[in-house]
Every structure is written in structure tokens, then in C-alpha cells.
Chains A and B, each alone.
Chain A
Amino acid sequence: MATKSIGLSQQPFEEIVAEHGPTVLRVCRAVLGRVDAEDAWSETFLAALSAYPRLRANSNIEAWLVTIAHRKALDHLRAASRRLVVTDEVPERPAKDGSPEGWESGLWEALEALPLKQRQTIAYHYLVGMPYLQVAEIVGGSEDAARRAAADGIATLRKTFPKGESR
């Protein structure tokens, strides 16, 4: 992004949200599904806002945010697995107004059916555009393992996602 940078000072956080908010939301959506995605997004950006003044200059902000989102998503998944009984709390459903299809698409549902590691590697590699080496640093394991997990996920998506939706 072109900025009239003054010295080593940081961009206002508002610019970080505008630039990376949509990508982080897609990551949260792909890894967690619809209900928890917005909670994880908020937790990610709140944690990022808190740590932001201490972030080193020239850091890869996108990778930093995805790493935080990764951890916040894991927190949600752990909390969900601990929840033996459904709580009384009804999760707030995101509104569906806006563009005709809104935020929903069969592809999201197909993604949700994949195992966690496949969802994570697909999200970070295909939705964010990270190389597999960087993906492996976030999810753990080797670069090859990350590539294989994503490939397995893609193979399943090709079978399950309705055909003929290419434009």
C-alpha cells in the first residue's frame, strides 16, 4: 500500500482494520464456521490493537494477524469441545442482508465439513495467499505436511462442492 510514511512510525490502526479485516474474516469463517467467525474476528482485532504499539517495524502485518486469528480460532474450538451440554445462550446470528447471496455460499458449507487441519491450510494458503512454509509455521508440522493437508482438502471440495459454479 502506498503511504506517505513519516519515519518509522506506525500506520493508524484504522488502516490495518480496513486493509486486513476482510481477509481475517474469511479466515475465521473458513476455520470456524459461521456462528463463531465474527466473535473470533473481534477477539483477533482487539488482541491486535492491544499489542500493536509493540509490534516491530517492518513486520508482516497480515501474517501477524492470521497468527492471532489462528490462536483465537483454536480457543473457540477448545471451548466448544469442552461444552458437553448446549448452553442456554443463543448465539447471535449474523444478518444476511446485503448482496443477494450475502455472506453465504455452498462453498463455505463444504469447507466446514473438512477436518480442521485441512480448513486451516486451505484458509491460510488459498484465502490469504501465504506460501506453505509460512502456513506450516502457523499450523505446526512440515511444509510438505501443510501442502498435503491442503491438497486433500481441495480433493474433497471438488467432490462435494456443487459443480458448474465457475464463472
Chain B
Amino acid sequence: MMNERDLFAALPTIDEAVSQRLHQRLVDVANAAGLLDVAYRTIETPVGTLLLAATAKGLVRVAYASEDHDLVLERLARDVSPRILRAPARLDGVAREIEEYFARRRSTFDVPLDLQLSHGFRRRVLSHLPEIGYGKTASYAAVAKAAGHPKAVRAVGSACANNPLPVVVPCHRVVRSDGVEAKHMLLALESAA
């Protein structure tokens, strides 16, 4: 005679289609109720899997896989809101622009941004970065000047290193004042060998 635990073990597990439908429904009602504080998805790109997260206001975080996406989501829960769901629809526009960017069909991003993860001077720095055109570079010193603090060159460096929106906010266009990125030259040289 089977015991009670075995009796219930005979219940079929919930299939994937049901789980997905319920999840989608939760996303829809949460969004309608204004409770979806952070929506996220991932996207495959030539620089690896990117995590994209958006509040109702705009794109709040882009993260490389090296940053550990689970950890990034945990930090978003702490710093923005724990009401976080995987909800790709809110990020469709961003994902499309990023795909176009990597396909060289787009040179500027025009999705709304939410810079709440960045404060004070760092935020001012980030808000100036889109002024550096596609394919162009600017020195840390020039960005410091544009952000109103010509002497804050190192602070510009840390603002770029802590950019919550890499790729979309082009911190990669900020280079050292000596103009030459020695490590890029060396790497280019080595990769051609």
C-alpha cells in the first residue's frame, strides 16, 4: 500500500506552458497595476550576453555577463526595488536599438534613460557622454571640463568605470588625455600576429 507522500507524488508536475502563461499574466497585471518597478531581459550580442533592466521611467541598467547578472539583479532589488520581473516587452525598443547598433545600422540611442543609479558629479558626467559622437573619442580632461569641473579628471574615470548603462551611454569613447590607448594598440598588434 502506498503511503500518503507517494500518493501525491503521482500528481503530474506543472508543465512549462502553464508556467509561462501564468508568468506572462502576472507581468501583465503587475504592469497594469503599476507594480512592475523593474522589468528585465537578456540579449545576445557580439560582446556577450547583456542584461537590460528598465523602470517605468526608462532604461536603468545595462550589464555585461562579467558583472554577474544574478548579482546585478540583487543590487537592483536593493537600490531600486525588489519588485522585479523578467518582462521582455518593456525592453523591446532598447533591445532593437542595441541589435541595430551592433549591426552598424545605428549610431545613436534614443530610448528614455533612468539615471537614478548614478548621483551627483558622476551623473553629470554620464549625461554629457552622449555628446561624444559615434566613432569619436574625448579625453577624461575634456569630459571633466564639459561637466563643469576641469580638475575632476579622476572622478570622470570613476564615473565611466561605474557607468550603469554601458554601450548605451558611451563611456567607451572616453580615453586618456595622451590620446593613444597603448593597450588597444598592443592588443590589435597581438591579434594580427
Question: Of A9, A94, A97, which is within 8 A of B77 by CB?
Answer: A9
User: What band does the interface of chain B fall in when counting residues whose beta carbon is under 8 Å from A?
Assistant: 35 or more
Q: Are A98 and B22 in contact (CB under 8 A)?
A: no
Q: Are B22 and A41 in contact (CB under 8 A)?
A: yes
Known A13-B83, A45-B26, A103-B18; judge A26-B11 contact (CB<8 A). Answer: yes
Chain B 26-48, CB-CB to A under 8 Å as 1, else 0, gives 10011001010010100000000
Known A6-B75, A42-B29; judge A98-B15 contact (CB<8 A). Answer: yes
| Contact surface of B with A, Cβ cutoff 8 Å | 2, 4-19, 21-23, 25-26, 29-30, 33, 35, 38, 40, 70-71, 73-78, 81-86
| Contact surface of A with B, Cβ cutoff 8 Å | 3-7, 9-14, 17, 21-22, 25-26, 38, 41-42, 45-46, 49-50, 52-53, 94-95, 97-99, 101-105, 107-108, 126-127, 154, 157-158, 161, 165-167
Question: Can you name 14 extra interface pairs (CB under 8 A) apart from A98-B18, A158-B7?
Answer: A3-B74, A12-B77, A17-B85, A21-B23, A22-B19, A42-B22, A46-B35, A53-B83, A94-B18, A108-B11, A154-B7, A157-B7, A165-B10, A167-B6
Q: How far is the CB of A156 from chain B (nearest CB, A)?
A: 12
Question: Of B4, B22, B82, which is within 8 A of A12 by CB?
Answer: B82
Q: Are A107 and B7 in contact (CB under 8 A)?
A: yes
Question: Of A6, A49, A104, which is within 8 A of B83 by CB?
Answer: A49
Q: Are B14 and A26 in contact (CB under 8 A)?
A: yes
Question: Of B2, B4, B16, B82, which is within 8 A of A13 by CB?
Answer: B82
Would you give 21 A-B contacts (Cβ < 8 Å), ordered by A? A6-B75, A6-B78, A9-B75, A10-B78, A12-B74, A13-B82, A17-B23, A21-B22, A22-B14, A49-B26, A49-B83, A50-B33, A50-B35, A52-B83, A95-B18, A99-B12, A103-B18, A105-B10, A107-B10, A126-B5, A165-B10
